[in-house]
Amino acid sequence: MAEREKYYIGLNGQIFEVSKELYETYYKG
């Protein structure tokens, strides 16, 4: 089984695991 890449964003001192789409939206927005 292939490992899926995991993306994390930091928000208000918390870390959230997100999808690639959300990650890109967050950082490009």
Locate 6 and state its tokens.
């995991």
Domain range for residue 28?
1-29
Q: What is the mean pLDDT of the chain?
A: 91
**Contact criterion met (CB below 8 Å) for 28 and 20:** no
Residue 3: its pLDDT value, please? 79
Place of tokens 């490992």: 3
pLDDT grade for 4, boundaries at 50, 70 and 90: confident
Nearest to 27, CA basis, from 13, 19, 1, 5: 19
Could you give the number of structural domains in the chain? 1
**What is the arithmetic mean of pLDDT over 5-16?**
94
Q: Is residue 29 scored above 90 in pLDDT?
A: no
User: Which of 6, 4, 9, 5 shows the shortest CA–CA distance to 29?
Assistant: 9
Helix, strand counts (H, E) of the chain: 1, 2
